[in-house]
Structure formats: structure tokens, C-alpha cells
């Protein structure tokens, strides 16, 4: 494989958000986006792999599907794995780990399948196999077809490496960006999060407005592959850094606002925004939901929150008052604004008494099926 070789790329996301990710993928100009269970497929080459990791805000991982073959038993899997052109993608001096899954196939033992493929790589290519290796080969054996992929990301893509401090049950940046997109956030309008925690929604919104690539602060597994070109990658990073952000008013000060009743969360969010390079676009204050008012000097925009869930902090009944207070504040003071909350309990959403639109499918967040509840702009 060279940087020009074309193949299928699988962009992983949380089930329920595939169509939202597809919208982002199409907007960034990737070829042939197709929504599938658990993500989006596109057609591209290794430079597209690099760009997807650098620029996509909603993808959790980027998998390069490097080949496939039929295998009806372990001996056949071993033989065909040994004939696979691993040197086109992997380097003999870089450790690799192998993960396998089996479904509807005569090969049913995933551990044995991973062991055979790992041994083939070690003996034919010479690359060491290690459980803690950054480079991961994923083998999916379904209906006797073994599909081989490389996880080009390494660490999950929500780890942007400029958000060091997090609170309990934080909203992952990848999910925050997709929820913002699902709410119609355009990169220009103001955003308010009255329960900001470690600042995910506010910082994501500010980064989008500033035109900052989400992967700008970290390294990726593809940098350790045989297909990697350090010079071309550096040029791509520089070009991404030079792109113009969304058009904003010339005299705009902070337009992305977070608050929390916990001073520790506020301090955490400020520090995270500073590391992300968006301190000048954001403002964080310590206050309760009942004290929330629209920020001065900005037009109506989006209020979005990820309030506590009953499973996380105790009895759900205790939260009804919190959700009711949030809803009352938004109804009384935020004329012209849209509202959105993420919760796993429809009863808590109803406690806000907000006129929600039909909800999109549930999404797994922290092992819980949560939904986005959103309103149109309120008169």
C-alpha cells in the first residue's frame, strides 16, 4: 500500500449518532459516505486517514480496512494470514497487537484467531507482538470472511490532549460535538451550558468557532505505520491550522459560556479552555441554575446541558427539583433561545416543562442509554 492506495475507511461513532457523523463527514468532503451500524464508511487513502483523525470532531476511531479473505478453519486462517502483505502497512520494528471478533463463522474462538494472526505477523514480518502496543490490527470474522483493519487512531479520539482535568461522568468531546451538530449549532451563535462540569460543550463550541482542528494536540497510531510520510503529515497539519474559522463579529468577546454551582468545576473548565487555546472566547462562572441569566451583549443562541442522572448521584426523585428549576429559568428568561438537555430519564426531561421536539434515537453515554431533548427557539 502507498499513500495513494484507495480502500474503505470505517469511522466509528456511538450507535444512534451515525447520521449526525455522516453530516460532518460530508461537510468535510470525504468521498462516498455511507451510514452503517456503529459509524460511517468512506472511500479514501492514507492521507484521508490522517485527515479524518486530525479534523473529524465526532469520530471515536478511524479504521483502515486493509484487506479480507475467506477462512473456514484456524489452519486456513493461519496460512492466509502468513501470505498477507503485512509489510505494505506494518513496520518490522514497531510492536503490534491483534484483536479478533467472530460471528456466524466456523471459526468461533476469537482468542485463537488473534493468536494465529499475531504469530503470522511476528514470524513473516518480524514485528513483535505485545498486548500494550499502540498499533492494533483488528480482525473481524463474520460469515467466514476475515476482514483486517488497522486502528489508525491509537488512543480514542475524544482524548484531545488539551483537556487534562475532568469531573465525574464527563461528556466526551466527540459526543459533545455531535450533540451540538444535532442541535443545529453553526459555529457562530452563542452557547450557554449552565451545568458545565469540565467544560466539554463550551470548549467544543469555541473550538469550532475558532476553526481549530480537534486532533491538533496529539499523536496517532498511523505515525508508526510503513505508510506514514512525516513531511506530508506536517504540511497537512499546517494547512489545517491556517484555515479560516467561521465568520464572527469583529468585536466579539466571549460567546461561549459555562457555569456550575461547583467552584472546582469552574476552575477546571477555565484551565481546560486555556490549554485548548479558547480562553478568550469562553467565560466560566460559579452560580446555581436558578441564578442563570442570558449573557449580556450577545444574541439568542443555544442553551445545552448534561445534567446529573439518577444512576450517577442517587435517587432520581431528588433531581426533579433541579430539572424543574432549569426549565423554569429557561422559560422565564431565555426568550428566543433554543434549549437542549441530555438525560437517560424521560420523566426528568418532562420535569422541565419545556416543549421538546421529537427525540432522536438513544445514545450510549457512560454505559447508559441517553437521549437528546431539544426545543425550537422559544418566543
Q: Where do the structural domains in the chain lie, given as residue ranges?
A: 7-151, 173-212+248-374
154 pLDDT more than 80? yes
Q: What is the pLDDT of residues 237-276, one digit of tens each?
A: 999 987 656 555 445 679 999 999 999 999 999 999 999 9
Model pLDDT, residue 170: 77
pLDDT at 362 over 50: yes
Residue 55 has pLDDT above 60, yes or no: yes
Whole-number Å distance between alpha carbons of 93 and 104: 35
CATH topology assigned to domain 173-212+248-374 = Rossmann fold (3.40.50)
The predicted pLDDT at position 378 comes to 85
Name the β-bridge partners of 44. Answer: 7
Q: Provide mean pLDDT across the span 103-124.
A: 96
Contacts of 14 (CB under 8 A, 6+ apart): 60, 174, 175, 178, 363, 364, 365
Predicted local distance difference test score (pLDDT) of residue 244: 56
On the question of pLDDT at 204 being above 50, the answer is yes
CA dist., res. 328 & res. 41, Å (int): 42
The fold of 7-151 is: VC0802-like (3.30.2130)
Q: How confident is the model at residue 15 (pLDDT cuts 50, 70, 90)?
A: very high
pLDDT at 3: 55
- Among the residue ranges 17-31, 212-226, 309-323, 340-354, the one predicted with the least confidence is 309-323
DSSP state of 290: G
Nearest to 277 by CA among 209, 180, 207, 214: 207
Its pTM surpasses 0.85: yes
Q: Which residues contact residue 362 at a Cβ distance below 8 angstroms, ignoring those fewer than 6 apart?
A: 16, 369, 370, 371
pLDDT at position 318 is 80
Nearest-angstrom CA–CA distance, 340 and 360: 12
Average of pLDDT values for 106-130? Answer: 97
Whether 35 contacts 19, CB under 8 Å: yes
Give the per-residue pLDDT at 162.
Answer: 79
Mean pLDDT estimate for the chain: 93
| Confidence band for 360, pLDDT divided at 50, 70 and 90 | very high
Closest CA to 52 of 39, 37, 38: 39
Cβ–Cβ under 8 Å, residues 351 and 323: yes
Amino acid at each position: 500500500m502507498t499513500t495513494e492506495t484507495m480502500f474503505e475507511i470505517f469511522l466509528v461513532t456511538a450507535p444512534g449518532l451515525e447520521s449526525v457523523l455522516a453530516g460532518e463527514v460530508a461537510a468535510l468532503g470525504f468521498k462516498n459516505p455511507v451510514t452503517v451500524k456503529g459509524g460511517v464508511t468512506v472511500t479514501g487513502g492514507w492521507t484521508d486517514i490522517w485527515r479524518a483523525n486530525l479534523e473529524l470532531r465526532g469520530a471515536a476511531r478511524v479504521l483502515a480496512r486493509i484487506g479480507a479473505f475467506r477462512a473456514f478453519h484456524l489452519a486456513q486462517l493461519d496460512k492466509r494470514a502468513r501470505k498477507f502483505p503485512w509489510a505494505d502497512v506494518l513496520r518490522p520494528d514497531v510492536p503490534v497487537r491483534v484483536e479478533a471478533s467472530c460471528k456466524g463463522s466456523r471459526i468461533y474462538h476469537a482468542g485463537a484467531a488473534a493468536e494465529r494472526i499475531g504469530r503470522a505477523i511476528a514470524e513473516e514480518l518480524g514485528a513483535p507482538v505485545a498486548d500494550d502496543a499502540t498499533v492494533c490490527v483488528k480482525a473481524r470474522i463474520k460469515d467466514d470472511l476475515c476482514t483486517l483493519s488497522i486502528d489508525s487512531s491509537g488512543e480514542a479520539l475524544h482524548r484531545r490532549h488539551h483537556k487534562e482535568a475532568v469531573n465525574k461522568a464527563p461528556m466526551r468531546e466527540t459526543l459533545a460535538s455531535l450533540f451540538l451538530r444535532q442541535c443545529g449549532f453553526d459555529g457562530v451563535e452563542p452557547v450557554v451550558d449552565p451545568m458545565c462540569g469540565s467544560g466539554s460543550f463550551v470548549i467544543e463550541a469555541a473550538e469550532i468557532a475558532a476553526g481549530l482542528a480537534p486532533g491538533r494536540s496529539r499523536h496517532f497510531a498511523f505515525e508508526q505505520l510503513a505508510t506514514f510520510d512525516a513531511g506530508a503529515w506536517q504540511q497537512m497539519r499546517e494547512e489545517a491550522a491556517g484555515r479560516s474559522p467561521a465568520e464572527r463579529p469583529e468585536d466579539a468577546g466571549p460567546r461561549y459560556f459555562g457555569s456550575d454551582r461547583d467552584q472546582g468545576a469552574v476552575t477546571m473548565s477555565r484551565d481546560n479552555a486555556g490549554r485548548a487555546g479558547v480562553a478568550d472566547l469562553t467565560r466560566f462562572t460559579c452560580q446555581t441554575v436558578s441564578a442563570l441569566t442570558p449573557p449580556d451583549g450577545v444574541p439568542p443562541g443555544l442553551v445545552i446541558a448534561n445534567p446529573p442522572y439518577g444512576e450517577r448521584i442517587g435517587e432520581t426523585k431528588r433531581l426533579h427539583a433541579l430539572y424543574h428549576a432549569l426549565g423554569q429559568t429557561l422559560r422565564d428568561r431565555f426568550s428566543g433561545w433554543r434549549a437542549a438537555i441530555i438525560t437517560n430519564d424521560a420523566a426528568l426531561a418532562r420535569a422541565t416543562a419545556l416543549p421538546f421536539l421529537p427525540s432522536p434515537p438513544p445514545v450510549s453515554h457512560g454505559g447508559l442509554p441517553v437521549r437528546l431533548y431539544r426545543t425550537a427557539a422559544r418566543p
